[in-house]
Structure 1
Amino acid sequence: MIGLVIVSVFVLAALFAPWLATHAPTDQDFMAAMQPPSAAHWLGTDSFGQDMYSRLLHGARSALWIGFASVALGLVGGVALGLLAGLRGGRTEWFVMRVVDGLLAFPELIMAMAFMAIFGLGLSNVVYALGLSFVGPFARMVRADVLQVKGRPYVEAARLMGVPGRDIVLRHVLPNIASPILIQAGMRVSIAILLGSGLSFLGLGVVPPTPDWGLMISEGRGFITMAPWISGIPGLALAILLVGLNLFAEGLRDALDPRTRQD
């Protein structure tokens, strides 16, 4: 419940950022650089004189977009590969799983960094890079679940009765593996947001002047003693959002996983 409330607050703030912001997030006023929180700038300004409150709100949009969009891409690709490997078997399964093993051979951050170095920086490429890095974990999990489900008597009976493969997948396989997929997706969103912020912090993600929390933390690290709010405020927002997402994912797991309900 607490996680849902926290996530809902951030989602609403991101959706209504253009109306809640007091300044344009990219407007610069060097005469007002590094001002502390005041009536004119509720959360102060950064080294370029940009309003921190407005950039924080618009930065939430970037963070949530990276989190949900990259997980959605990884989920679609992973489910497709996992279903293909689990249902086809044989050489198809062997080939697909070797591709998945190749994706899993590299840590997600390293793979994303390599992708960004090859294809360039920007918000869209961050989403694609993280989405690609999530395909492997989803594919391996889905394949394992499919292998369990397709051996059950009612699936075998449907196959013997001549039910088309597509109908078996839609009616019997997917409904039975939906819960672990949703649980895994919920847990991956917070990882995606953290990795996206990490890429921006390292200069391999979102590029200025686009508002991004990782970028804001990086820009303020040189002024941590003079203007701690530049890094501290987006860092605190990121921490609160990650806690909220993790609490929400745990609640989702408790609701959908019968093993936790029995405990």
Structure 2
Amino acid sequence: MTPHPTGPSWDPAQYLRHAGHRARPFADLLARVPDLPADRPRIADLGCGPGNVTVLLADRWPTAEITGYDNSAEMLDKAAVEHGGPTPGGGRLDFRHADLRTWTPSRPYDLIVSNAALHWIPGHLDAFSAWLDALTPGGTFAFQVPNNLDAPLHALMRELAATDRWKSRLAGVLRAEDSVHTPGVYLDRLTRLGCAADVWETTYFHVLAGEDPVLDWVKGTGLRPALTALADDPEARDTFVTEYRDLLRTAYPSAPYGTVLPFRRLFAVARKEE
């Protein structure tokens, strides 16, 4: 059995179950983005998902023309229905299909931003040059990605997938350990491309509620490739999830106030010279 040919399938409802925790890093990223050069800026949101954080761009830049790009029809449908159209400040919010592995801007942008998407794009460093070329002078490229593949959340998933029972079905399915680079690599690349770059990391300690909340969290993101690969065999899928759940229960024990999920993220804000 081979990996899903078009990448993991996405479930907007599952993803949004932890929308508050997932939105906070994007708000923290936007807080470091400088003023944009245009009165009615053009903004591209790469990997917009269900659009729940794309709307934060309209809060910050009410007159902006904002386009959210994603390759999931399910995510785009939800985004368009719930958030698409004119914005209260006189701008507009649209959503379009795009594969970020090949996406090249067809128009200038004042801001290109990406929230928790680039780690799904192999070789994304090589795309930075074309994206920065599309920025207007004084424009900004900003992104954040999870940087926690060494955490039990992912390490246990990889270890389980590599066991004799699962390796024939899940080999090469999960994200590679080098899907996110070190902060220094991003700083060097963005600076060499002529930007003033600010790169940093933050570890959030999310307090999650409910039964097996860490499993519930990862079902919306990192576990999607395995769920997609096993989708045609529900019994095997459920068995894998149960085995993984038991490992997570030990790694992330519950407390009277909830279950703590430490989650490290990497941020970058690069401003193009005027």
Shorter-chain TM-score: what band? under 0.3
More helix, by proportion: 1
Question: 1 or 2, which has the higher strand percentage?
Answer: 2
What is the TM-score normalised by the length of structure 1?
0.26
